[in-house]
Amino acid sequence: MDDLKKISDLRQPANWYSNARAITRKIVFHAGPTNSGKTYHAMERYLSAKTGVYCGPLKLLATEVYNKSNERGTPCDLVTGEERKFGISESSPANHVACTVEMTSVNTPYEVAVIDEIQQIRDHQRGWAWTRAFLGLIADEVHVCGEPGALDLLQKICETTGETVEVRRYDRLTELTVESTALGSLDNVVPGDCIVCFSKHDIYTVSREIEARGKEVAVIYGGLPPGTKLAQAAKFNDPANSCKVMVATDAIGMGLNLSIRRIIFYSLIKPSMNEKGEREINTISVSSALQIAGRAGRFRTQWEHGFVTAFKSEDLQILQRILAQTPEPLKQAGLHPTADQIELYAYHLPNSSLSNLMDIFVNLCTVDDSLYFMCNIEDFKFLAEMIQHVPLPLRARYVFCCAPINRKMPFVCSMFLKVARQYSRNEPITSEFIKKNCGWPFKLPKTILDLVHLEAVFDVMDLYLWLSYRFMDLFPEAANVREAQKELDEIIQQGVFQITRLLKNTEASQDGEISSYAMRRVTHVKEPRLPSASRGRLTERLLAQGLLTPGMLSELRKEWDAQQVGNTSPAPTESQELAVDSDDEDNYSGSGRKIRKKRRK
């Protein structure tokens, strides 16, 4: 037990990065709201340096920096979880790198490092990546950009490293006005408006109602591929395009350059995940509201003066109060168990599963809770339990469970399991394997269900690309998968451009027709081999996540009982399969779900 406690002593994470501690780093905090130019000034220093790294929260932002750097004559490479691009060539790495924050190298020295959106260090899922970058980057200068509320926490962390923080404050470059009246009706939408919704159902409803009024809309939400988001943004930004209105989720809060005149909050209620990994419905936070509202009125665009309002009159006063506040100061930065730490645990607890090892680690670890917290590990554990019965080395198992997939998407989870099984048999996972299992070739979507399925397939291809950079020998056809993914992105783009037609077709399918993909989209999510109590916990999680309803569970039990009539063979006590026809949490409310239970052959 003492050995385990020593391994999980996380009270001084700054000491994990000896190379960074061996140099004297200059820390510069560029603090300011959205549209204040804080990142611009940090990037100017990055571009003028002999060597540099940009660490961003999104692939879109890293790609933008990659493109701008190379356009400015500063060769720059791109490194994300799923992609590598080279400013010069693969054999001749550039001196500058733009990467997603999780991909930050803490072993390469740089003259200048830029960490964008530093307030994400408090995020319950991804905060550990910002903590790692801030503590571990080997750079003469570390420039961090973000909300002023992060300053106090960064200064306290720097006290543990012996560093000081130079603060540069920025004010918003354009005026932002909170209107005194709510929109009230979609009849009052005007060019330059962006209606922000917090569910796909609202996105679809609002989009259709606006187009019914003769106005073309651009649509952006988190599940869309990057290429589709950029295409929709370009359509909206183009003064010559007939599309003058956007409907979007909070995905517009960062990563896209948009020319928005007015932000309209369709609702102030947003689903979120708490520190325990539980889904909650809360009023939007001050930080999120300011981030989204700040997208109105962009410097050097046709809409320099921005406006903000609510759709409902009863929300307007609440919104005005929220936007009048400043974000709460950050209190803690995220941490996450490393593969090395879990391997040491496994050495002492050889019979424990990876999920149990993570649980034990979190329960035994000691953290300086005046500065740090342990990030939520529920997604990691979910994947670990899913592939628990698949024979994998611990290090490979850990890597698989770090894959950035949405566990609310059964089709993606099913493919994750198939890929893990193939890998465990030491059989290469080819592009043909992916295409065959995803139903290639694809046609243009006819309904919203079709579009949602194509988005899930895009995520499966992202999963393949992510794994291909970690297990190159068994994922050897990344180039072919990337080409197929580009083609899929174009199909999804065409589907989103015709989203109103898809909505009409979806309603028709609910009246008796069946979507072409819905016929094929029966997805198998295998329950891990766990004791019965653990299986009960999995069922409870599926119920809590909306992947299973009490009615569906009752039907499954009846169906199983019926199957047992006349069947003398014993009921399986371990692995049973749930065939789930479902979408992620934000999917169109009309999407049907079918679940059946069957015996494992």
Residue 298 lies in a domain: yes
Full domain range(s) for residue 134: 11-169
Residue 76 lies in a domain: yes
Q: Are residues 35 and 161 in the same domain?
A: yes
- What pLDDT score was predicted for residue 444? 94
Residue 457 lies in a domain: no
Q: Are residues 81 and 157 in the same domain?
A: yes
Q: Comparing 596 with 231, which gets the higher pLDDT?
A: 231
Contact partners, residue 14, CB within 8 Å, separation at least 6: 21, 135, 157, 160, 161
Average pLDDT, the chain: 86
The total number of structural domains that make up the chain: 3
pLDDT tens sequence across 324-353: 999 999 999 999 999 999 999 999 999 999
Contact partners, residue 369, CB within 8 Å, separation at least 6: 332
Mean pLDDT of 240-268: 93
The fraction of the chain above a pLDDT of 90, given in percent, is 74
Residue 578 lies in a domain: yes
Look up the CATH number of the domain holding residue 141: 3.40.50.300
- What pLDDT score was predicted for residue 500? 75
157 three-class SS: helix
pLDDT tens sequence across 544-573: 555 555 555 565 555 555 544 444 434 333
Contact 218, 245 (CB under 8 A): yes
Q: Which helix (H) or strand (E) holds 41?
A: helix 38-48
Residue 456 lies in a domain: no
Range with lowest mean pLDDT among 272-276, 277-281, 399-403: 272-276
Q: Are residues 164 and 83 in the same domain?
A: yes
Question: pLDDT tier at 529 (50, 70, 90 boundaries)?
Answer: very low
Neighbours of 468 (CB within 10 A): 20
Cα angle, residue 316 at apex, residues 311 and 318 outer, rounded to 5°: 130
Residue 529 lies in a domain: yes
Residue 58 lies in a domain: yes
Q: Are residues 274 and 212 in the same domain?
A: yes
Q: Are residues 189 and 263 in the same domain?
A: yes
Range with lowest mean pLDDT among 35-39, 41-45, 159-163: 35-39
Q: Are residues 183 and 44 in the same domain?
A: no
| Residue 205 confidence (pLDDT) above 60 | yes
Q: Which of 169, 187, 219 marks a domain boundary? A: 169
Q: Is the dihedral of CA 64, 70, 73, 76 positive or negative?
A: positive
Q: Are residues 152 and 180 in the same domain?
A: no
Q: Are residues 159 and 183 in the same domain?
A: no
Q: Which of 299, 323, 347 marks a domain boundary? A: 323
Q: Are residues 110 and 95 in the same domain?
A: yes
Q: Are residues 104 and 230 in the same domain?
A: no
Phi, psi of 8 (to 5 degrees): -100, 25
Residue 163 lies in a domain: yes
Q: Are residues 183 and 60 in the same domain?
A: no
The fraction of the chain above a pLDDT of 70, given in percent, is 83
Neighbours of 364 (CB within 10 A): 14
- What pLDDT score was predicted for residue 129? 98
| Residue 530 confidence (pLDDT) above 70 | no
Q: Which of 127, 148, 169 marks a domain boundary? A: 169
Q: Which helix (H) or strand (E) holds 458?
A: helix 448-468
- What pLDDT score was predicted for residue 273? 67
Q: Are residues 67 and 18 in the same domain?
A: yes
